[in-house]
Amino acid sequence: MYPDAAFGICVQHLAANLKTRYKDFKGPLKTYFDGASRSYLLSRSYKVVASILQRSEPRPADQFEYAVTNNAAQIWIVDMSERTCTCRRFQVDQIPSPHAMAVCNHRRIDPYNYCSNYYTKDYLYACYAHVVHSIGSAEGWDVSEEVRLQIVNPPTTKRGPGRPRVHRIPSQGEEHEPNRCGRCNGYGHNRQTCTNSVLLHKRLTTRPDT
């Protein structure tokens, strides 16, 4: 009815939530949001949402190759038969990338079938199935001169934020020894904070015989 009128107040809080959750709100996502916010009728809103979902679904080139889009901004090619993706995470990690997961959800197939066997329990046990020979004492090691002369310095550290710790972190099973006062020999405080009454020396408290 009023195409030039601003309806920003109605969708201001929704836009703020999207900006908080999605850092790349500027772009196609904002375009989709503006289109959906101007759908005043419920039937029109359904059409806009259906159009967004249709653009976001993986588009098949054949039975195994799919084009996965990110809100029509970027496109990744996923080949399920070769287990490859143009983002290279499918090849490097040998587990389905997020784009391959979108294809698995679209085809309703189990993504675990496309994971490498190196992530299975049998392969984990096989890593420790071989014999690990002892290396003996350091005097019998055959170390090259290049390695022997190499000096390995500790890594450079950066002071962390906040106030540094005064007391060290106790080890596991270490019992804490309570403070003992040097004035009254009591526990839980020191000489400066001691408020207990202390008996004087016997020679000072005993009166001489008259």
Per-residue pLDDT reduced to its tens digit, 114-140: 999 999 999 989 988 888 788 888 888
In a domain, 83, yes or no: yes
* Alpha-carbon span 116 to 122, nearest angstrom: 12
In a domain, 201, yes or no: no
Rg of the chain taking only CA atoms, in angstroms: 36
Confidence bin at 3 (pLDDT 50/70/90): low
Same domain membership, residue 73 and residue 35? no
Task: Provide the pLDDT for residue 91.
Answer: 94
Same domain membership, residue 63 and residue 22? no
In a domain, 140, yes or no: no
Same domain membership, residue 106 and residue 90? yes
Instruction: Please write the tens of the pLDDT for every residue from 56-74.
Output: 678 888 888 999 887 656 7
The pLDDT of 84-110, averaged and rounded, is: 91
The beta strand positions in the chain, using DSSP E, are 59-60, 65-69, 75-79, 84-85
DSSP 179: P
Q: Is a pLDDT exceeding 70 seen at residue 35?
A: no
Task: Provide the pLDDT for residue 153.
Answer: 92
Residue 22: domain span: 12-56
Other beta carbons within 10 angstroms of residue 72's beta carbon come to 14
* Alpha-carbon span 28 to 17, nearest angstrom: 16
In a domain, 98, yes or no: yes
In a domain, 52, yes or no: yes
Task: Provide the pLDDT for residue 167.
Answer: 78
Structural domains of the chain, count: 2
In a domain, 85, yes or no: yes
Same domain membership, residue 73 and residue 42? no
Maximum distance among all Cα pairs of the chain, rounded to whole angstroms: 120
Query: Does the model's pTM come out above 0.85?
Result: no
Same domain membership, residue 46 and residue 79? no
* 3-state SS class at 59: strand
